[in-house]
Amino acid sequence: MSVIDFNNNKFQFKKKHKFSPAVSFLIDLFFPKHCLVCGKEKTFLCQDCFSLIEINSFRYCLCQKPQRAAIQGKCPSCRNRALTGLYFACIFGQKALKKAVHSFKYPPYLKDLAWPLAYLIILHFEILGKKIDPSSVLIPVPLFLSKEKERGFNQSKEIADILAKAWQIKIISGCLTKIKKTANQAEMGKEQRSKNLEGAFRFTDKMKKKIKGKKIYLIDDVYTTGATMEECAKILKQSGAREVWGIAVAREIMI
């Protein structure tokens, strides 16, 4: 498997924030980075632990007990879903992945973890041999404003920004917004999640021309029941999108 190498020819970006050597030294001194899994210094997820994360080599349908998907993206059981299909890089239960996602979304809110998590998606698409249509658009799943302020960033947008650069396609953020504060869905079942999200999202009218007839890739960190992506897909299709495909770092398989 490939390892994380942000300086290779396929994945060469400059991070937004650069510090002087002196400031970087002080940051590393007082806030040292350690691998979340093995404790190795200088990174939150070392290459050895990253390499243990198994990446999917197939695409699956949207069902609660998913099957390998055909070309159209859905099996007959889920063909009436608004979401056209789903790509997810990994199964969520893996130790290193769970630690990374949890530390990204919850305290200590390690924003730098967007890089290895996005790279898992990139590797998944490379394994599938899937090329992204350059005319398609990335849209991150939005957070409610108070939640984004608490975290300091929207984790889906951080991942989407990296994917947009890697694939050289357009990202539109701010057009899809979460207008309703919803209850925590961690302990909810599928039907409860769907009801919880009813009316939670809105698309900005003046932005509709930017997605009309477009293939949209909706970006999120973890896909569980699919209620969030399904609600977003409904709004995007009502606003003119031709197709809405979900992309997630991981999927939690419900048994």
pLDDT, one tens digit per residue, over 96-153 is: 999 999 999 999 999 999 999 999 999 999 999 999 999 999 999 999 999 999 999 9
Most confident of 1-5, 53-57, 184-188: 53-57
How many CB atoms are closer than 10 A to CB 134? 9
Task: Output the furthest CA–CA distance in the chain (Å, rounded).
Answer: 59
Pick the more confident residue, 10 or 235: 235
Q: For domain 58-251, which architecture applies?
A: 3-Layer(aba) Sandwich (3.40)
**Angle CA 247–100–44, to nearest 5:** 125
* Range 219-238 average pLDDT: 94
Residue 255: band (very low, low, confident or very high) from pLDDT cuts 50, 70, 90: low
pLDDT value at residue 2: 39
Report helix, strand or coil for 150: helix
pLDDT > 70 in the chain, percent: 81
Residue 254 pLDDT greater than 90, yes or no: no
Q: Is the pLDDT of residue 7 over 50?
A: no
Q: With 50 as the cut, is the pLDDT of residue 5 above it?
A: no
Say yes or no to pLDDT of 6 above 90.
no
Q: How many residues does the chain have?
A: 255
Mean predicted confidence (pLDDT) in 8-27 = 45
Question: Is the per-residue pLDDT at 185 higher than 70?
Answer: no
Work out the mean pLDDT of the chain and round it to a whole number.
Answer: 85
Give 221's contacts (C-beta < 8 A, 6+ positions apart): 101, 104, 105, 117, 155, 156, 159, 248, 249, 250
Is residue 172 scored above 70 in pLDDT?
yes
pLDDT of residue 207: 93
Q: Are 171 and 252 in contact (CB under 8 A)?
A: no
- Amino acid (1-letter code) at residue 141: V
pLDDT of residue 71: 56
Segment among 23-27, 123-127, 173-177 with least mean pLDDT: 23-27
The predicted structure's pLDDT at residue 189:
64
Q: Is the four-CA dihedral 234, 239, 241, 247 of positive or negative sign?
A: negative
Across residues 230-247, what is the average pLDDT?
A: 96
